[in-house]
Structure 1
């Protein structure tokens, strides 16, 4: 087992602090969901470090506003926008097909949380379809661009993964009662497992993939949750030590660590929180990574199930 990775950064670090002194000139990045929440600050930090950044957004107009604002604040004019609707496999494949040239950083940041039971036209549960299937198809569709010069893929997961492993027998809640937090949890577990199997399959291609917990941040991600429930969950999650919330700038910091830090060069299948590699979760605690989220057998099973469902492969 490799030694745990620790960095000079922590809970209070911001994305801009992480990229200070980093030169990403000549590097190209894609950030899904880059038009809101921590996605905006991820885009800003990458642009500040000199990367060409494409905001992949469902709302192109919102993306254009963010691009203009980030360009103005960083002086980097290479902040672009392209349409991407993760729940639509057609949209995801179109985005990948339109991409030209190498891609050095793919930040799978977009997501939906705790939504009411909703199914895509294919009958897939919305959270799994968005948070995992959409990003799985996108990443595999961009495989050749990622392979061109070696690349890093970063999946924004969550401590919500502790709510559920991937329930392969009934991913889409067709035979069990729908629980929106379990649905969210298994989709976030999938984000971690994706990197475990990608690391095994793609090590020789120079592509790495890791996942992270950004922290508790109040953004549009919570739009399906009432204020009462949100406050109750914050209190529950914190126990005797109330959960400390982060700003979006702090929430994006761990993403940037995985995107640019030399300490994670060549490593895949890791899960970071507060800018450092997480320790194993212990029962009753709300931090750390669950054993089932880094289980190689579950990772291989998820990949196979995803390929079979989506009929895509790299």
Structure 2
């Protein structure tokens, strides 16, 4: 927000979440990590806890969350790890989480998600990936706005994906009511929405001291790919420019989230897109890196915000 120069950091694709947070003191800060019970969510939460934060794991499976909390406490020596139920596809669950939150919130990591699932819908008829990856997080962040504003300098982390390059938000048919359902197009659309949210949230909330950035964590084998076959994963590895050597482990996959959540190098920065612990530029034809220009279009970001508000209001 304060400068147009790209953010540069001493970290890269091989850096781990714990390396990124080294030397940063989050004592007294409160953080929420959605999907904190597995995958890169656990490692994001672990790094925040290692830096001294009070961390709430917002999870769909509380038993899994409690196991993760115990593991994080044991590995970091920080026992201020809480677990709270949250099903992002269920607006009543989101409202319940928001309703029980008390006091300031310094870091919100919108990490949970689903990828390339078969066609599924919420009771409202919303396409499930868009409902979970975008609408659930939109309702959560807007519901927690007062807590974020009370923190004074809060950060919201919107975990997107290079898959946003697959699809803009198709405003004329977001929920695949007329066009044939395609799992990757649905996923890509929801991940574009995650970037657009960061753009609009920063414009709306920067004066409240709340800054939001989006990121691509990298290719990491986690439960996120439970709907993706091994054959499809091999094809994705090939199209990304290499084999398994180009994929990250979960500690590396969480690093960019932790950078966006904590690094003083991002003070005053919002509405941008990061990958491999660096600010990314526009996507170049023939590559799978960088952001699609439509994902940072301020007019599209505002339109998505209005559509999201209207969708939730009519739920």
Range class of TM-score, shorter chain: over 0.9
Mapping of 1:96-245 within 5 angstroms? 96-150=98-152, 151-238=154-241, 241-242=242-243, 244-245=246-247
1:124-176 Cα deviation digits (max 9, x unpaired): 00000000000000001101100002210001100000000000000000010
Unpaired stretches in structure 1, ≥5 consecutive residues? none
Between stretches 227-236 and 14-23, larger displacement belongs to 227-236
| Structure 1 moving runs of 4+ over 2 Å | none
Question: Aligned equivalents of 2:247 and 2:190: distance in 1?
Answer: 22
Q: CA deviation at 1:237?
A: 2.4
Question: Aligned equivalents of 1:268 and 1:22: distance in 2?
Answer: 20
Aligned residue in 2 for 1:7 = 9
TM-score, normalisation: structure 1: 0.97
Q: CA deviation at 1:242?
A: 4.1
Question: Aligned equivalents of 2:226 and 2:102: distance in 1?
Answer: 35
TM-score, normalisation: structure 2: 0.97
Q: CA deviation at 1:203?
A: 1.3
Question: Aligned equivalents of 1:129 and 1:80: distance in 2?
Answer: 25
Q: CA deviation at 1:211?
A: 0.5
Question: Aligned equivalents of 2:217 and 2:149: distance in 1?
Answer: 27
Unpaired stretches in structure 2, ≥5 consecutive residues? none
Question: Aligned equivalents of 1:197 and 1:226: distance in 2?
Answer: 35
Pick one of 298, 301, 309 that aligns with 1:299: 301
Residue 209 of structure 1 aligns to a residue whose secondary structure is strand
Q: For the aligned residues, what is the CA RMSD?
A: 1.0
Question: Aligned equivalents of 1:249 and 1:138: distance in 2?
Answer: 26
The question of 1:279 aligning with 2:281 is answered yes
Residue 234 of structure 2 aligns to a residue whose secondary structure is helix
Question: Aligned equivalents of 1:220 and 1:129: distance in 2?
Answer: 19
Aligned residue in 1 for 2:254 = 252
Question: Aligned equivalents of 1:169 and 1:199: distance in 2?
Answer: 25
Residue 120 of structure 2 aligns to a residue whose secondary structure is coil
Question: Aligned equivalents of 2:71 and 2:20: distance in 1?
Answer: 21
Aligned residues: 310
Mapping of 1:68-107 within 5 angstroms? 68-107=70-109
Residue 240 of structure 2 aligns to a residue whose secondary structure is helix
The question of 1:269 aligning with 2:283 is answered no
Between stretches 226-235 and 161-170, larger displacement belongs to 226-235
Residue 45 of structure 1 aligns to a residue whose secondary structure is helix
